[in-house]
Amino acid sequence: MPFNLLVTTCACHSQNVRYEPRDGAHITINTKENEHVIFFEIDEQSNKTSLFRKHFSMLGEGQKICDLLIYYYLESSACDVRKEPKIICLAESKGSSLDDAIEQIENTFNHIKAKFSDPKGYTNPIVWCAYIATSGFGSGQNLRRKEYRKKLGKISGIKYSSASTEQDIGNFLRHCYSRLESEKEATGKILLT
């Protein structure tokens, strides 16, 4: 993945990061000790300097893109940082159109995977996650929340997913990392999908 492109045109600047779209729910994280987090605001509608869409050939009409690509890593003294997996989370902030959010995340993910490959294994394992922050699910809120989580979970290659009214994505990312650690302890390896 071309992090030089992401860092120079899409990175948000802050210790405790906050994404504030015009519409939809905000996405924030208050980092804890040893957490490394970078928010990349990839949608050029909210970030005029983003070259993400151009680089990943998403210029045609109907090419939907999600709001954020989030890099997350929890550093511990007991691990070799080069060998540990990193979490990359595609996130979308929505008011109500959650089916659109799922389509945006899936389309963004598919374009990244089509363009980026690492056949020689030079990079750390990447675990892909998806998150939709919404201002509400409407009537039948609990049932709809489960429905959207299930739809997100069906995106091939996405390991963990959630749709929530929670603006702080930190708990979701920490939960994903905790599940990775548990999986590694139980099996001795991390399954990437």
Mean pLDDT, rounded, for 158-185: 88
DSSP helix/strand/coil, 151: helix
pLDDT tops 50 at residue 14: no
pLDDT in tens, 20-74: 655 667 888 888 888 888 888 888 777 777 878 787 777 777 788 888 999 888 8
Residue 157, both tokens:
């290659």
Q: Angle CA(150)–CA(156)–CA(158) in degrees, nearest 5? A: 70
pLDDT tops 60 at residue 7: no
Question: Higher-confidence residue: 78 or 193?
Answer: 78
Residue 130, both tokens:
């998806």
How many helices (H) and strands (E) would you count in the chain? 5, 7
DSSP helix/strand/coil, 80: coil
Whole-model pTM: value is: 0.81
**Nearest Cα to Cα of residue 132 among 157, 160, 112:** 160
Determine the pLDDT at residue 129: 93
pLDDT in tens, 85-97: 789 999 998 876 7
pLDDT in tens, 96-126: 678 888 999 999 998 888 877 665 555 667 8
For the chain, how are helix, strand and coil distributed in percent, rounded to 5? 30, 20, 45
